[in-house]
């Protein structure tokens, strides 16, 4: 189950305010139409401890102005005390930004001017919005076709949706290449899978290292890239040591000498559960020939984890720190979607990644039956 981790979704609502006259090096002003019930607009800083950092009162005509002090480049949101009603911004010291838009329709549609990076971000968001608008329409068509038992129309809409998704990803690649060094690329790269676009991931990291090092969102991204490098094919698999259902710590290295499949999954992940019967079959077929599995659950609820183990007839090693997506194991292996797998040789080196279904079966057959 894909869990895409976006840089623009980290936000809380601990609100702080200051007067527009407060000293600062960044000014944000503009006009928001159709906001009759809103008396203030908020500036949220997207960071590890995300919070609202400033407010401004609306004038009667919907105009506003705030002055805020920025010491490092960063991602911000300008909007109301409601989710999904904001304009995404990139702010840097001494920026003078203007934001004009309509209440309730800010994300991707607000007009943002004043700095190249801020304008780059709006360009990227507009590309995304074009895809999302089309995708929503196609998903409704698929739902309608399914309800009316029209498989031909369903397949047609699905094909168009998949093609649109491919076009959007290509547009993100082009955007990144055409905006080398732009802070907006930190948001654009999140639309691309690292396994297929790792060279581009490294390019974004390297292009922004001088400008953004020490900024939370960049440092987190750079750590993710470093983690992917450490778990690339040919690398020594990083050690894992987590508790099993009995509370005993089991080390990955305890399985050294066997071919080991590290399997990241969760009880709530439908694709994971659908794949489990195939993994059970492969395990039973090759466990006596030197094949082991080290299952890592991203569950938070112990009972759900244990119930899924029983329901799916899982007999191999299972561990979890029950931290969900905050799992330390997922961080070590830079896992951002599940199911995710890493196949290790007896020396503990990664020889393949994300094998499932027929691909996993073929690889194990190659190892144990050739």
DSSP secondary structure letters along 209-231: HHHHTT-HHHHHHHHHHHHHHHT
How far is 140 from 157, CA to CA, in rounded Å?
Answer: 9
pLDDT computed for residue 229 by the predictor: 87
Domain around 257? 241-369
pLDDT computed for residue 48 by the predictor: 66
Same domain, 202 and 317: no
Indicate the residue among 186, 211, 230 that finishes a domain: 230
Exposed, middle or buried by CB within 10 Å (0-12, 13-18, 19+), for 16?
Answer: exposed
The answer to the question of residue 212 being in a domain is yes
Cα–Cα distances in angstroms (integers) from residue 166 to residues 121, 122, 170, 216, 322, in the given order: 20, 21, 6, 30, 35
The answer to the question of residue 59 being in a domain is yes
Q: For the chain, what is the largest distance between any 2 Cα atoms, rounded to a whole number of angstroms?
A: 78
Q: Within 13 Å and on the Cβ side, how many CA atoms surround 357?
A: 5
- pLDDT 10s digits, 51-70: 889 999 999 899 999 999 99
pLDDT computed for residue 356 by the predictor: 92
Same domain, 34 and 141: no
Please state whether the peptide bond connecting residue 271 to the residue before it is cis, i.e. omega within 30 degrees of 0.
Answer: no
The answer to the question of residue 1 being in a domain is no
The answer to the question of residue 236 being in a domain is no
Which residue intervals of the chain are DSSP H helices?
116-147, 151-178, 185-188, 198-212, 216-230, 270-286, 302-311, 328-332, 357-369
Same domain, 226 and 258: no
How far is 190 from 174, CA to CA, in rounded Å?
Answer: 14
Q: Dig out the tokens for 277 from the structure.
A: 């019967």
pLDDT computed for residue 84 by the predictor: 67
Q: What are phi and psi of 320, to 5 degrees?
A: -170, 140
Same domain, 316 and 345: yes
Indicate the residue among 95, 112, 129 that finishes a domain: 112
pLDDT computed for residue 216 by the predictor: 87
The answer to the question of residue 360 being in a domain is yes
List beta partners, residue 31: 63, 100
Same domain, 361 and 257: yes
Same domain, 90 and 125: no
Indicate the residue among 87, 112, 137 that finishes a domain: 112
Count up the domains in the chain and report the number: 3
Same domain, 103 and 141: no
pLDDT computed for residue 143 by the predictor: 92
The answer to the question of residue 235 being in a domain is no
The answer to the question of residue 91 being in a domain is yes
Same domain, 203 and 252: no
User: CATH number of the domain that 82 lies in?
Assistant: 2.60.40.1120
Which pLDDT band, with edges at 50, 70 and 90, does 252 fall under? very high
Same domain, 247 and 345: yes
How far is 127 from 100, CA to CA, in rounded Å?
Answer: 19
- pLDDT 10s digits, 5-36: 344 443 322 333 333 344 469 999 999 998 76
- pLDDT 10s digits, 339-366: 999 999 999 999 999 999 999 999 999 9
pLDDT computed for residue 106 by the predictor: 86
User: CATH number of the domain that 272 lies in?
Assistant: 3.40.30.10
- pLDDT 10s digits, 129-186: 889 889 999 999 999 999 999 999 999 999 999 999 999 999 999 999 999 999 999 9
* Beta-strand relationship, 291-297 and 317-319: parallel
């Amino acid at each position: 189950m894909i869990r895409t981790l976006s840089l623009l979704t980290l936000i809380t609502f601990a609100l702080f305010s200051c007067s527009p006259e407060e000293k600062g090096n960044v000014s944000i002003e503009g006009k928001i139409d159709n906001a009759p019930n809103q008396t203030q607009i908020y500036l949220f800083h997207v960071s590890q401890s995300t919070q609202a950092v400033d407010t401004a009162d609306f004038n009667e005509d919907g105009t506003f102005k705030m002055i805020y002090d920025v010491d490092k480049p960063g991602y911000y949101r300008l909007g109301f005390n409601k989710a999904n009603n904001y304009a995404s911004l990139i702010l840097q010291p001494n920026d003078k930004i203007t934001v004009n838009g309509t209440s309730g329709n800010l994300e991707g549609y607000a007009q943002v001017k004043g700095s190249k990076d801020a304008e780059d971000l709006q360009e990227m968001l507009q590309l995304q919005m074009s895809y999302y608008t089309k995708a929503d329409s196609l998903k409704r068509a698929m739902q309608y076709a399914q309800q009316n038992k029209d498989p031909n129309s369903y397949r047609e809409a699905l094909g168009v949706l998949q093609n649109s998704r491919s076009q959007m990803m290509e547009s993100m690649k082009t955007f990144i290449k055409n905006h080398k060094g732009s802070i907006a690329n930190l948001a654009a790269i999140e639309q691309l899978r690292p396994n297929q676009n790792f060279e581009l991931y490294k390019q974004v990291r390297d292009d922004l290292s001088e400008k953004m090092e020490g900024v939370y969102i960049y440092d987190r991204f750079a750590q993710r890239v470093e983690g992917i490098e450490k778990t690339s094919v040919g690398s020594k698999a990083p050690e894992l040591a987590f508790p099993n259902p009995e509370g005993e710590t089991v080390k990955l290295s305890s399985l050294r000498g066997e071919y080991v499949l590290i399997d990241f999954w969760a009880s709530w992940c439908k694709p994971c559960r659908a794949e489990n019967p195939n993994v059970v079959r492969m395990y039973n077929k090759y466990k006596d020939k030197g094949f082991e599995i080290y299952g890592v659950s991203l569950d938070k609820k112990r009972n759900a984890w244990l119930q899924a183990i029983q329901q799916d007839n899982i007999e191999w090693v299972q561990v979890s720190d029950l931290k969900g997506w905050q799992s330390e194991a997922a961080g070590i292996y830079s896992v951002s979607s599940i199911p995710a797998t890493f196949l290790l040789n007896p020396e503990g080196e990664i020889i393949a990644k994300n094998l499932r279904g027929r691909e996993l079966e073929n690889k194990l057959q190659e190892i144990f039956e050739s």
